[in-house]
């Protein structure tokens, strides 16, 4: 199991903490599936970040482009205009910052502006992305699995064995980074719940989550408020808090070292209790 995760200016000691790192979602977008438009201005985004920090968040993930199923790509400059003022306002907040992007130039500018981690749904497969992260000698890197792209990923996703295929993809992408000189302790992986997976695929991944941990990297679980929870509970997006917290605890039980969530106070409280009963 990994003992540390280097995240830019910060080092998470995974031996000293049993509960997962809570990554709070901060979408500076008008159209994200859950909180689109709520934090579109820098002022609103910064206020939300302050609330998350007060409630115990460990890491803030800033995004300027929705990647919900069917989402259209956002032009580079528009994405930069959304995220850079937020990064500028938070760079000295005492909490590591992550940029949720697949664009190489956004990665570069965000790293220069002060982010500590690159969280890429394309696992650095877009043009220039690998080179952009190689220009940093300390940023954390989260590699996610996605079948196809956000526009088409939910059109009848198919796998022979979803666990093995996702696991092999993440192993290959991580090995590519290591071959290019990236330290093992900078890499985290994300199986990509809801990104080109059916409900059956998603439930199988959650049930067998520990198989991703066996690769030796910190594994991120991003299940918060997603449609898989709505299909199980029958609840609309903003009524999935309880199911989201339950999913985070289930992932923690199965080895998740990072959980990416909308509902920071509820998740932090649940994981504190989970941690208190660990041997």
Backbone angles phi, psi at 251, to 5 degrees: -65, -40
Is-catalytic flag, 43? no
CB atoms within 10 A of CB 22: 23
Exposure string (b/e) for 228-252, b if CB count within 10 Å is 16 or more?
bbbeeeeeeeeebbebbbebbbbbb
Which tokens hold the place of 195? Answer: 């990104």
SS3 for 48-66 is HHHHHHHCCCCEEEEECCC
Q: Rounded CA gap, 89 and 66, in Å?
A: 21
Is-catalytic flag, 131? no
Which tokens hold the place of 168? Answer: 């092999």
Nearest to 211 by CA among 189, 228, 196: 189
Backbone angles phi, psi at 253, to 5 degrees: -60, -25
Q: Rounded CA gap, 144 and 8, in Å?
A: 19
Exactly one of 82, 226, 240, 254 is catalytic; name it. 226
CB atoms within 10 A of CB 94: 7
Which tokens hold the place of 95? Answer: 């909490």
Exactly one of 19, 103, 197, 260 is catalytic; name it. 260
Cβ-contact 66, 33 below 8 angstroms: yes
Q: Rounded CA gap, 129 and 223, in Å?
A: 25
Q: Rounded CA gap, 181 and 187, in Å?
A: 12
Which residues form the catalytic set? 226, 260
């Amino acid at each position: 199991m990994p003992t540390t995760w280097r995240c830019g200016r910060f080092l998470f000691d995974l031996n000293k903490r049993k509960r997962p790192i809570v990554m709070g979602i901060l979408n500076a977008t008008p159209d994200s599936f859950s909180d689109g438009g709520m934090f579109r201005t820098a002022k609103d985004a910064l206020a939300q970040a302050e609330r998350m920090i007060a409630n115990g968040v460990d890491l803030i993930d800033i995004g300027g482009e929705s990647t919900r199923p069917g989402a259209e790509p956002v032009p580079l400059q528009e994405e930069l205009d959304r995220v850079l003022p937020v990064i500028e306002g938070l760079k000295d907040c005492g909490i590591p910052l992550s940029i949720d992007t697949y664009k190489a130039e956004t990665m570069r500018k965000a790293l220069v502006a002060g982010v500590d981690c690159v969280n890429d749904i394309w696992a650095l497969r877009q043009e220039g992305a690998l080179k952009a992260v190689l220009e940093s000698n300390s940023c954390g890197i989260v590699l996610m699995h996605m079948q196809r792209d956000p526009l088409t990923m939910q059109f009848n996703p198919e796998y022979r064995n979803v666990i093995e295929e996702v696991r092999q993809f993440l192993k290959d992408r991580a090995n590519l980074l290591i071959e290019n000189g990236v330290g093992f302790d900078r890499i985290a992986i994300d199986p990509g719940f809801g990104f080109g997976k059916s409900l059956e695929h998603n439930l199988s991944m959650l049930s067998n989550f520990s198989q991703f941990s066996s690769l030796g990297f910190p594994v991120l679980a991003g299940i918060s408020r997603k449609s898989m929870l709505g299909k199980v509970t029958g609840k609309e997006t903003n009524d999935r808090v309880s199911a989201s917290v339950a999913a985070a605890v289930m992932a923690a039980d199965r080895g998740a070292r990072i959980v990416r969530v909308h509902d920071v106070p509820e998740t932090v409280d649940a994981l504190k209790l989970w941690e208190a009963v660990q041997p």
